[in-house]
Structure 1
Amino acid sequence: MLTVSALELRTRLRDGTAIVIAILVPVTLATLFGLALGGDDPPLRATIGVVDLDGGEFPASVRREVTADKELKGSVTLRDLPGEAEARRALDADEIGAAVVFPAGFSRGVGEGEGGDVTVLTSPRSPLAGVVASAVVDRISAVVDARTLAVRAALLAGVPGDRVKELVERNGAAGPALTLTGDPLAGGKVDLAVYYGSGMAALFAFFVVGASFRSLLTERRLGTLDRMRAGPLASWVPVAGKALVGFALAMVGVCATWLSGTLIFGSSWGDPLAVLAVLTAHVLAAAAITMLVTVRVRTDAQADGVIMVVSFVMAFLGGSLVPLHNLPGVLQSVALLTPNGWTATALAELAAPGTGVTAVAGPIAALLAIALVTGGLAVAGLRKGMLL
């Protein structure tokens, strides 16, 4: 297998296709797109549902502060919902981008020093709404913790129960007042240089791995594949050897595009370990899909055409050429059928500060599932004699 891989790599490097397709073209296009269209680009509007089962001062304070915040005016709209079930249905239907649920008795529990939990519901299809809702809940948690600690400290100090509330509020731990510090939208912004850089990396990963699988058809047409099979080789060796080279070159390509974007624009794609995991899963999915295409066509020319069509369709629908939040709602759902869509979703999640691998475990799992299903179909095609 290593001998086959070495031969494939020498061939790709000798004719220049590896360097051009894997590095030069995606890096150049990503740079041009970044220079022309780079900059922060948050989704312009988001709707956050508010489920107030409490009816107390805390939910009312949250509403006042969110509607009065200068950074949120014109971008965030609050929508009242009767219950958590209705909020989940509205979230699934893309009627809202996130929801904050205040449980019954929340304000009373905070006032008595018992604390309380607020639930936030988010959707990967509306990162801005999720960032704002999470910022609000984080601030609520800080205020609730301060109020709870103050009440408990007063009670332990022997303050009569009927005077605790007055004492706590007089000393600055009233609780209901809520201030959103900083720019709540900062975590929801995604630099378009990152969008298009990752988009070009995702697009050309298909071409890079596709070139290796396409060469199997060329080998079959020239008769060299039959000669390899006539030797003491297992039937999977030619496929595995070329797949190894395609995967390695595609990883070099996506990492080179990632590095160039970071160096040229100073933009971060997110936690490095998480980004690497997402890109690796994407390349695996791209390799499986292009292998499936290869076993379904008969000539290398057909493979070139079909791989090109599949790559560009997935790039458009998956947010590699047009940011996902600019697509109509229907196409945003269709995007999740493509590896590009899950990759774009994952990198949008990583734009929020403090996110890591756990935040993108879902998209990574989806990419690996795509790779497993399409790779299994491709292997089944190979075993039926398409190439072997």
Structure 2
Amino acid sequence: MLTVSALELRTRLRDGTAIVIALVVPVTLATLFGLALGGDDPPLRATVGFVDLDGGEFPASVRREVTAAEELKGSVTLRDLASGGEARRALDADEIGAAIIFPAGFTRSVGAGEGGDVTVLTSPRSPLAGVVAGAVVDRISAVVDARTLAVRAALLAGVPGERVKELVERNGAAGPALRLTGDPLAGGKVDLAVYYGSGMAALFAFFVVGASFRSLLTERKLGTLDRMRAGPLAAWVPVAGKAVVGFALAMVSVCATWVSGTLIFGSSWGDPLAVLAVLTAHVLAAAAITMLVAARVKTDAQADGVIMVISFVMAFLGGSLVPLHSLPGVLQAVALLTPNGWTATALAELAGSGAGVAAVMGPIGVLLAIALAAGGLAVLGLRKGMLL
């Protein structure tokens, strides 16, 4: 297998296809798109559900602050909901992008220095709403912690319980007023250079791995595959040898596009470990799909045409050429039928929220499932086509 892989790699490097398709074209296109269309993503709109089961002053102050924040005007809308169950149903139906739920007795609990829990519901389909809800709750936590600390300090100092609230408030130790510091939307904005850089990486992964599986058909046409199979080789060795090279070159391609985008534009794709996991899962899915194409077509020319059509259709529908949020609602749903759609969703989540691997385990799992399903069908097709 190593011999077959080494021969495939030498051939690809010698004729220049590996360097051009894996490095030059995707990096160049990502750079051109980034220069022409880069910058902060246009302002998004999001709806945050607001569930007030407390009815006290604390949730009311949160509402006033959110509605008065200049940074949120025109972008974020609060929607009153009657219960946590209603908020979850609205979130599942994509009617809201996130929800903040204040439990009954929250204001009383905070006033007594006992703290309190605020529930936050988010959806990966609306990272902006999640960022806003997270910013609000972070400030709520600071206020509650300050109030709790002040009350406990007063009690430890021997202040009678009935005088604690009065003392705390009179001395300005009730905790800082709720204020949204900085730009609450900053985490929800994704540089368009990231969209197009990751889009080019996802698109050309298909071309890079497809070239190796296409060469299997060329080997069969030239009779080389039959000569290899006549030797003391297991039937899977030629396929595995070429697959290793295709996968390795595709990983070099997507990582080079990632690194070049970061260096040229100074934009972050998110947590490096999480980004690498998503890109690896995407390349596996792309490899399995192109292997399935090679198993179903008859000639290398057919493979070229089918791989090109599949690659561009998936790139358009999956947000590699046009950001997902710019697509109509129907096409956004269709995007989740493609590996590019899940890759774009995961990378937007990482770039927009700064989350880690745990936040994108769902998309990674779907990509691996696509790879497993397409790879299994490809193996059956290769056996039937006498390539294995």
The TM-score, its normalising length taken from structure 2, stands at 0.96
Aligned amino acid, residue 74 of structure 2: G
Distance 1:175 1:5 in 2: 65
- Aligned pair 1:281/2:249, yes or no? no
The residue matched to 1:351 in structure 2 has which SS? helix
Q: Deviations over 1:171-229 (max 9, x none)?
A: 33435831000110111110001110010000000000011011111111111111111
Question: Alpha-carbon deviation of 1:381?
Answer: 2.0
Please list every run of 5 or more consecutive structure 2 residues that lacks an aligned counterpart in the other structure: none
CA contact (8 A) 1:217 1:299 kept: yes
| Structure-2 residue corresponding to 1:126 | 126
| Structure-2 residue corresponding to 1:219 | 219
Question: Alpha-carbon deviation of 1:24?
Answer: 0.7
Question: Alpha-carbon deviation of 1:386?
Answer: 4.8
Question: Alpha-carbon deviation of 1:366?
Answer: 2.0
| Structure-2 residue corresponding to 1:334 | 334
The residue matched to 2:347 in structure 1 has which SS? helix
The residue matched to 1:78 in structure 2 has which SS? strand
Q: Deviations over 1:81-120 (max 9, x none)?
A: 1112211221122111111111111111111122111111
| Structure-1 residue corresponding to 2:112 | 112
Q: Deviations over 1:104-143 (max 9, x none)?
A: 1111111112211111111112111111011111111111
Question: Alpha-carbon deviation of 1:266?
Answer: 1.4
| Structure-1 residue corresponding to 2:348 | 348
| Structure-2 residue corresponding to 1:187 | 187
Distance 2:43 2:92 in 1: 18
Question: Alpha-carbon deviation of 1:148?
Answer: 1.4
| Structure-2 residue corresponding to 1:141 | 141
Aligned amino acid, residue 121 of structure 2: L
CA contact (8 A) 1:98 1:133 kept: yes
Provide runs of 4+ in structure 1 moved above 6 Å.
Answer: none
- Aligned pair 1:66/2:105, yes or no? no
- Aligned pair 1:95/2:101, yes or no? no
User: Which of 2-11 and 265-274 deviates more?
Assistant: 265-274
C-alpha change, 1:386 and 1:60, in structure 2 (3 Å) is farther
Distance 1:372 1:218 in 2: 25
CA contact (8 A) 2:147 2:173 kept: yes
Aligned amino acid, residue 208 of structure 2: V
CA contact (8 A) 1:336 1:342 kept: yes
CA contact (8 A) 1:4 1:242 kept: yes
Distance 2:206 2:68 in 1: 47
Distance 1:91 1:241 in 2: 47
Distance 2:168 2:353 in 1: 33
Q: Deviations over 1:309-368 (max 9, x none)?
A: 111111111111111111122222222222111211121121246422222222222222
The TM-score, its normalising length taken from structure 1, stands at 0.96
Aligned amino acid, residue 59 of structure 2: P
Aligned residues: 388
Aligned amino acid, residue 240 of structure 2: A
Question: Alpha-carbon deviation of 1:372?
Answer: 1.5
Q: Deviations over 1:243-289 (max 9, x none)?
A: 00000110111111111111211111112222111111111111111
Question: Alpha-carbon deviation of 1:76?
Answer: 0.5
| Structure-2 residue corresponding to 1:262 | 262
- Aligned pair 1:178/2:175, yes or no? no
Aligned amino acid, residue 186 of structure 1: A
User: Which of 304-313 and 329-338 deviates more?
Assistant: 329-338
Distance 1:130 1:386 in 2: 51
Distance 1:172 1:376 in 2: 67
Distance 1:172 1:215 in 2: 75
Distance 1:37 1:131 in 2: 24
CA contact (8 A) 1:118 1:137 kept: yes
Question: Alpha-carbon deviation of 1:146?
Answer: 1.3
Please list every run of 5 or more consecutive structure 1 residues that lacks an aligned counterpart in the other structure: none
CA contact (8 A) 2:317 2:335 kept: yes
Aligned amino acid, residue 279 of structure 2: L
User: Which of 128-137 and 355-364 deviates more?
Assistant: 355-364
| Structure-1 residue corresponding to 2:359 | 359
Question: Alpha-carbon deviation of 1:42?
Answer: 4.7
Distance 1:171 1:349 in 2: 43
C-alpha change, 1:353 and 1:89, in structure 2 (3 Å) is closer
CA contact (8 A) 1:42 1:128 kept: no
Question: Alpha-carbon deviation of 1:151?
Answer: 1.4
The residue matched to 2:71 in structure 1 has which SS? coil
CA contact (8 A) 1:318 1:324 kept: yes
Aligned amino acid, residue 52 of structure 2: D
CA contact (8 A) 1:126 1:325 kept: no
CA contact (8 A) 1:43 1:325 kept: no
C-alpha change, 1:228 and 1:55, in structure 2 (3 Å) is same
| Structure-1 residue corresponding to 2:150 | 150
The residue matched to 1:152 in structure 2 has which SS? helix
Distance 1:94 1:386 in 2: 48
Aligned amino acid, residue 232 of structure 2: P
